[in-house]
Amino acid sequence: MIDGFEEQREYKEALLLETHRLLRYVAYTTYIGIPTKKGTRKAKLTDFYPLPYDKKSKKEYTKLEIDEFFARLDSLITNGKFRGYLDTDGKLYDKDKKHIGYYLNETLEYIN
């Protein structure tokens, strides 16, 4: 019986996602039809309104955005060694500002 409810939930989520995709497409076609100055570029469909399960395009962050993000993080020091920067969600970043692991329940878990 639980399997039937699970399948019904998955079907409803898929139907809702497909509805959102159609609405996004209609909004995007309207957005593309708006005239602009010559030489200006319009955003891609996935950048215009991202949805779950879209192929993720790599967003380029400016140096200022990266510095502001890491200014909000706390540095994690254990046994007198700097381990990285700790996010509120438990994500751990190194000095080069790359995601290297997690810090959950006072244990470090590194990503290979």
Q: What digits encode the pLDDT tens for the residues 56-80?
A: 656 666 777 777 777 777 777 777 7
Q: Which residue has the higher pLDDT, 19 or 31?
A: 19
Q: List residues bridging with 9 in a β-sheet.
A: none
pLDDT mean over 72-89: 75
The residue type of 25 is Y
- CB neighbours of 56 closer than 8 A, spacing ≥ 6? none
Per DSSP, the chain holds a count of helices (H) and strands (E) of 3, 5
| Residue 107 in tokens | 């244990």
Question: What pLDDT was estimated at residue 112?
Answer: 56
Output the pLDDT for position 59: 63
pLDDT at 8 over 60: yes
SS3 61: coil
Query: Do 97 and 104 contact (CB within 8 A), yes or no?
Result: no
